[in-house]
Chain A
Amino acid sequence: MIEIKELNKSFDDIKAVDNVSFDIKEAEVFGLIGTNGAGKSTILRILSGVYKQESGIALIDGNEIYDNPEVKKNVFFISDEPYFWPNSTAQTMGEYYAGLYDSFDMDAYGKYIEAFRLDKDRKINTYSKGMKKQLAMLLGICSKTKYLLCDETFDGLDTVMRQAIKSMLAKEIEDRKLTPVIASHNLRELEDICDHIGLLHQGGILLSKDLEDMKLNIQKVQCVFKDEADKEKALNGVEIANENKRGQLYTFTLRTTREEAMARFSSVDTIFYEVLPLTLEEIFISETEVAGYDIKKILLG
């Protein structure tokens, strides 16, 4: 388990991480979302032992991380610009990490390299940006560490590769309870993979919630009422996060469960109604609006 409490880190006069607290449970995919400069990479670097926090607590399995090899052998950090030794190949990098991480699975690494069609003897400096990211991910997964910290790792990967890597992560989570922490500035990238989301803004954390919890308690309903009075009846006593009307068609974002929403709308006379799944983006819009932030400005520019 990763515990972060009142974590602070500044670079000269710039507060990169401002009193951040959250926990990351084992075997869950934690998405760290935020704009550029929100503090995502700084937190990952603190968790991987690259940076030392100024104050606060950052613990992995109850232990301090900085300059602690016993903890760091359970953590693999994939930087946003992964470094490979000059003139190294996929094979030599694999051997290098195998020497550093006791748990490194060279057989699995070889199979993945083949599956991803990466030439193991080709010099990495001739790889494309996407290929380097794939390789870094494979090295991280094959190190078989308990925690995998990925900084903008999906950025630059095509859809097919992204899906392939997501499948790999899912398998690792299932097989050995891997805990990936994925930082990204793009909500859409994390939508179908994360279990828990932490939203960072200007060094502070805006919210940290389970995706399922968020999805359970917020519903999008599209509906055409026969009579405006039915609208009052259906929505009486429920919190409306958002409301839109185009012609006769209403779209509501309601803070309630799917069952309750369906019960409310089936109990009134409607021409049409439908409870729709919300995208992560829509959930965030409503959640952060509650907190007084305009998420569109924060995440979507």
Chain B
Amino acid sequence: MSRPLIEARDVRVTFDIRRPSDLPWTPPAQLHAVNGVSFSLEPGQTLGIVGESGCGKSTLARALIRMLPASGQVIWEDGTDLLTLSPRQMLKYRSQIQMIFQDPLASLNPRMTVGDIIAEPLRTHRPGMSSKERKEKVRSVMERVGLLPNQINRYPHEFSGGQCQRIGIARALVVEPKLLICDEPVSALDVSIQAQVIGLLEELRRDLGLTIIFIAHDLSVVKHLSDEVMVLYLGRMMEKACSDELFADPRHPYTQALLSAVPIPDPKIEKTKQVIPLEGDLPSPMAPPKGCVFRTRCPKTQAVCETVPEDRLRGDHHTACHLADQGVEA
């Protein structure tokens, strides 16, 4: 087995929440946005991260690139723990990890030309590059992601959403990163444009050998793209397995409920399909339920759920549920 490109061990992100009514010496309340997430990702693989809003997907991504303080370990392929590096040391790794953001237009500075936007990582990480080389490089990347290189002097507001996302992808690829983190890159786009952008990402992954962490709340998108899928709920891992297995045989009741909610583009099947409804709202992350965090909404909750669920492991299939191996049908 080859060495993983990136390995996260027990990553936790905790925010201190101060209420206005608190006195200065009251200890702040703690919000565990990401709680003990681990995964390892081999070069060329794609990890999909799914979960509903507020479950810590984006927080996890930001923690990996040190945009948020986190505890635990994030081991890069050369054995360094990214979380212990100083900002200056981290700079070396930033060019190898690039990110694509959710809102394509908002992630581009409206006062800069597309050429300047795409060249920004080059200016930061390859300061020795001449402006002519830089321009050449920007043009070739633009062509690579399906933009006309002669649009280099245009401004972001002159492009459509899909084109803006291509600009974002070009900016991420210009420094030839090894790992690409996509934070819901298609959820702000039309369905037809989504397909194009996902097609582009697939093509790039194949041609450039990219490793991708793909965050989405759309399961069908994740299924299409990922080798491995991780399901998050309230900042905790619910289930992690290789994509085919997870979609064919979901073991965690939460995953089962999520999958049953995916619409099937065939009215006949859609009518007969059984949806597992999840009742109630997401519990407050400030006061998560004791034991299994999902038990307040779980259709199969039992007394045993009040203790911490054990991580059931069958092959590579992790499930944080007591029921996972008991063959309970959905």
Same complex origin of A and B:
no
Residues on A lying within 8 angstroms of B by beta carbon are: none
Residues on B lying within 8 angstroms of A by beta carbon are: none
